[in-house]
Amino acid sequence: MIYWLEIFLIGAGLSMDALAVSIALGTVEREGLNWKKILLIAFFFGFFQAVMPLAGCFGSSWFVTAEHHYERYVAAGLLWLVGGKMIRDRHQEEKVHFGIKELTVLAFATSIDAFLTGVSFACLGRNTIFAEVLLIGVTTFLISAGGCIAGRCSGRLIKTGRCILAGGLMLIAIGLKIAFWG
């Protein structure tokens, strides 16, 4: 029982970047954010948080040397690019839209630390981690869905341009946090 509580807490900890990005997405897309979109965003974050530990666990000997030194800068750079694009495009007449490509980039960027969690599972000698990554993915899914809803609710209180600016700045701030503090 304690083991599964630990895995749940690992999942909750890993999902904090996804939560922050989900809040930003909910804030920016507040009018177009229906249940289908919320579930899609939550699925992407949950899926990547589940797959990356598998990749880390089973490919750790091959990836760990190159990945360990650069993962935080790759994640930060991706978040800076998306956040900067949001800020640059905030005055356009059309609504900001996040498609599959943008969701994939954001989900990947926020799940790189989950890869290293998978490496740690391998170091502990865990050969089968499918139940563990399922719990991590479901935890992230639920937390991300809640973040989208919270962002949508708070975004309705603010003008569109300011929401997009706030969302972009949030992504850039998350990138700075990852780059400098991991």
Find the domain containing 149 and state its range: 2-72+98-158
Instruction: Give the pLDDT of residue 140.
Output: 97
**For residues 38 and 148, is the Cβ–Cβ distance under 8 A?**
yes
Q: In this structure, is residue 84 part of a structural domain?
A: no
* Of the listed ranges 38-42, 70-74, 136-140, the one predicted with least confidence: 70-74
Give the model confidence (pLDDT) of 155-165 as tens digits: 777 766 676 77
Count of domains observed in the chain: 1
Q: How does residue 45 score in pLDDT terms, banded at 50, 70 and 90?
A: very high
What's the predicted TM-score (pTM) here? 0.78
Q: In this structure, is residue 11 part of a structural domain?
A: yes
Q: Token pair 């919320």 is at which residue?
A: 38
Q: In this structure, is residue 25 part of a structural domain?
A: yes
Q: In this structure, is residue 132 part of a structural domain?
A: yes
Res. 24: pLDDT tops 70: yes
Q: Token pair 């994640």 is at which residue?
A: 75
Q: In this structure, is residue 64 part of a structural domain?
A: yes
Residue type, 32: G
Q: How does residue 95 score in pLDDT terms, banded at 50, 70 and 90?
A: low
Give dist(CA 59, CA 72) in Å, integer: 18
Q: In this structure, is residue 169 part of a structural domain?
A: no
Q: In this structure, is residue 123 part of a structural domain?
A: yes
Q: In this structure, is residue 34 part of a structural domain?
A: yes
